Structure 1
Amino acid sequence: MATDTSHPQQRHAHIWFKMIIGSLFGFGFFMIPFQWNGELTILISLLQATISAPVKGSLPMVIVVLMALSAGGSLLGTLTGGAGMNRYFKSIFVTTWVSLAFRLAAAVLSILVYWKVGPEAIWNDYTGQIIVVELMPSLLVIFLLATTLLPLLLDFGGVEFIGVYLQPLFKTMFRLPGRASVLTATSWIGSGTNGIIAANLDYKKGLYSAREVSILCLGFGTISMPAVFIYTTSIGGLDVGTFLYFFFTLFVVGVVTTMVIARVPPLSLKSDEYYMGKKDPMLDAPEDATQTKWQKAAAIAYEKAEKAPGLPKILKNGVLTTFDLYMTVFPLIVVIGILALVATEFTPVFQYIAVPVEPLLNAIGLPEAQDAAPAFLVGFADLLLPFLAAEGIESQLTKFVICITGTVTVICMSETGAILLKSAIPVRFVDLLLVFLLKTVVAVPIALVMGRLYGLS
């Protein structure tokens, strides 16, 4: 009986097809900017806006329902030990007393904000409304799209292929493996939230050590490209004509700040251990000295694509992961975000903290130093605050420095910070604070010098 040799060849072609098509779709969704209605955007942001537009008015109510479901399910699950729940729901709703307190608080706060009852400090336009009505509805859709579509970017070999070529550069500059280059672009072009979600998934797969994933998230987490333009020009009041130079400066400052935080504490002290001690075997695969770089990249990408899940599994995992994030991460963002904004708007805490900053800004010659000082610290609470602070500044140079620093140091507790603390990525609150301050110290003088070189005043 003759042996059928066509099947292995067909399978080989199928895997190559899956690798190429899957990776192209992934890059297309997350990384390729294009003009749409006169604005620069990427496909996932356009999808998010398109999906949200028809139901925009209903999404805040969806947030309230999700927070109530998280609180009610967690209260029942924690008190009963998950009786009657399957393993998936137990992993979500059987939690610690601290997490339960956050989820109950999130439900209460979201109800107060939505119906505008209770203390006005909780629900006014500059605190609770920003979180529940503006921020959370956009995250609601972007989390679903990101967790569902990220496997196209991460699991079909494209990351590994590019990583082979960028390995020397990333290792030298950032102490990171080359495959981190694609997640870097995902964070810078897409958003820091997308980058953190992707990095957390890869960390759990054993593709990054604790130190590497910490540098990756805290070094490159930033605002999405379309949002940067809106925040700096529409909110911060930066002259639209300076935006291309602004983006070039942002790239320079981002590279330098990441090179610095990768080499000093607290991130330099992070462990080189992998998640639960499980390192992906592919990372230790012996190199074939006879292979060209192209052959090596193709072989690694092929092996990754061979293990990639099919579309039904991608969709199922995306929905399950998204629901998990809604129940566990969203309450943290709601509580931390609202309380941080209340502290910013109704207490002098940030004004007091900014007192030692003003003399330093005066010393380096930043115009309107007194008014600008709080802007360099309030970003730790929420990403919008530096840009809102820049709105009241007259100097284009000072606006430029505030917007650069506010963009590149985005480790805000209302969003990325809360997501990081809830993820498997081994960073603590003190790590976030120290890295935020370190990036600010490095970013401000560089942005000031580059702003002056451009002729801003």
Structure 2
Amino acid sequence: MADSDSSTAGAHATAASDYRLFLRFAIPSLLGVLAFLTPMFEDGKITIGLAILSNALAALMEGWLGPIAGIVLAASALLSIYATTTRARRTPGGLFASLFDIGTPFVLVRIVGAVFAAMTLFGVGPEWIVGENTGQVVLFDVIAALVAFFLFASFLLPLLTDFGGMEFVGTLLHRVFRTIFRLPGRSAVDATASWLGDGTVGVIITSKQYEKGYYSARESAVIATNFSIVSITFALLVANFTEIGHLFIPFYLTVTASGLVAAIIVPRLPPLSRKRDDYWPATGKQVAADSGEGLSLFRWGLQRAMKRAAHSPSLGQLLRDGATTYAEILFGLLPLIMAIGTTGIAIAEYTPIFDWLTFPLVPVLEAMHVPEAAAAAPALLAGFADMFLPAILATSIESEFTRFVIAALSVTQLIYMSEVGAVILKSNVPLNIFELAAIFLIRTVITFPIIVGIAHLFVF
């Protein structure tokens, strides 16, 4: 009798524990879906919850976000100079080093970004830097919006990615990944996290998996260049900036559809098709067999989600990680956008370089019935320098159709050297800059007609 009571008590305890784990998975994940993926209405337009929060903060801080960003960029440059020059006298590692001890080339970029921001704030300098269509657009429109946007995104994104939601979705998709994308089933989790999370984080995860022997050289290169897309939050920012935020749902569905087609085709073409299935020499192949035998995909996904939830971060860890992510964006990403974005727009606005490079594309765009083809053509290639540059160039285009196409293309091109491309080159993923340029062009050729076709048939 005692043994029976003990068994019953143990069963109840296990059930209670499983129920708590289920709630720990379900509640944060659903909140993440509510913040990032659930359509909402604001002023009669469809958007998502995160955008409503960031818009409210931007309205509250109107006129202040630009100067605040200028101070942040100046601090980034000064602290980077200090960290680089005092490296020998400091203990290696730590958050300060990861943020500011970044190497001379990146320090120079941060200095340029800070100088451009200061010149723009004080209105001192040549028009191609401080003009209304160059430095002012980047600082007061782009960067100011980023400061508000990522304040919320940095802290809310873990709800979507760190409590089992990615494991659940990835498990449901694992057979599709194995069949269609020629990737191991276990990569579905990382690829899904890269797609819905942050592109640079996705590259870092992929590189670490390659170094640990879980991905081959080919698999790591394919995942890094086909699934490390910008986050949903950044895609929404692009949509809002190009004034198509009310079309965000069809916009992101278009990005997803064209991106999936590219993910099927691009790995089957050079240079990715020429990558070997060799593993990192220091570790060799460490892939374990997939588990889940005897379980339905749903039960297996739920099991993995609850296992992830059991090791999910505490509230304190979430706050620390969110603050770290926000600091990385403020001190790392914003200077890059200020320096490269201003320079890229200046080249586009004050030189004919982009016009020369893309002149042969104008008849192609006209044949595809893309309005304002001559104005749109330079944006097709500008994204290799910075993902936001096509969106900035699109602000001068009146046609909503064309702005929709440019915004969607800029997200699906994926490889932009101001961030994701630079992270790939710094990682151990076996790709060089010429291969990245080739993949960028291939993705453009594949996704552009798909985006135009969807826009013609279903959106406009």
TM-score by length of 2: 0.79
Distance 1:102 1:205 in 2: 26
Q: Which of residues 145, 148, 166 in structure 1 aligns to 2:173?
A: 166
SS across alignment from 1:107: helix
Mapping 1:430-449, distance limit 5 Å: 430-449=434-453
Tell me what 1:320 maps to.
Answer: 324
Which range is displaced more, 294-303 or 406-415? 406-415
Letter matched to residue 235 of structure 2: S
Letter matched to residue 195 of structure 1: D
SS across alignment from 1:24: helix
Tell me what 2:51 maps to.
Answer: 45
Change (3 A) 1:372 1:300: closer
Tell me what 1:196 maps to.
Answer: 199
Change (3 A) 1:13 1:123: same
Distance 1:230 1:222 in 2: 12
Tell me what 2:220 maps to.
Answer: 210
**RMSD of the alignment, in Å?**
4.0
Deviation at 1:147, TM superposition (A): 2.7
Deviation at 1:322, TM superposition (A): 2.0
Change (3 A) 1:227 1:355: closer
Distance 1:26 1:99 in 2: 33
Segments of 5+ residues of structure 2 without an aligned counterpart are none
Tell me what 2:143 maps to.
Answer: 136
Distance 2:360 2:257 in 1: 27
Deviation at 1:216, TM superposition (A): 0.3
Distance 1:426 1:370 in 2: 37
1:309 maps to 2:309: no
1:55 maps to 2:61: yes
1:291 maps to 2:301: no
Query: Any idea what the Cα deviations from partners look like across 1:26-63, whole Å, max 9, x if unmatched?
Result: 22222222223311111222222122221131111111
Tell me what 2:189 maps to.
Answer: 179
Deviation at 1:148, TM superposition (A): 2.0
Tell me what 2:26 maps to.
Answer: 20
Deviation at 1:385, TM superposition (A): 4.1
Letter matched to residue 329 of structure 1: L
Distance 1:429 1:366 in 2: 31
Deviation at 1:345, TM superposition (A): 0.7
Which range is displaced more, 153-162 or 4-13? 4-13
Letter matched to residue 357 of structure 1: L
Q: Is the 8 A contact 1:19 1:305 kept in 2?
A: yes
Tell me what 1:191 maps to.
Answer: none
Tell me what 1:147 maps to.
Answer: 154
Query: Any idea what the Cα deviations from partners look like across 1:117-161, whole Å, max 9, x if unmatched?
Result: 111110111111111111112222333322322222112112111
TM-score by length of 1: 0.79
Change (3 A) 1:205 1:319: farther
Distance 2:357 2:95 in 1: 44
Q: Which of residues 84, 93, 100 in structure 2 aligns to 1:78?
A: 84
1:34 maps to 2:40: yes
Distance 1:275 1:316 in 2: 32
Letter matched to residue 50 of structure 1: A
Q: Which of residues 106, 112, 137 in structure 1 aligns to 2:113?
A: 106
Q: Is the 8 A contact 2:128 2:350 kept in 1?
A: yes
Change (3 A) 1:405 1:81: closer
Tell me what 1:258 maps to.
Answer: 263
Distance 1:125 1:89 in 2: 35
Q: Is the 8 A contact 2:47 2:248 kept in 1?
A: no
Change (3 A) 1:17 1:75: same
Deviation at 1:344, TM superposition (A): 0.7
Aligned length: 439
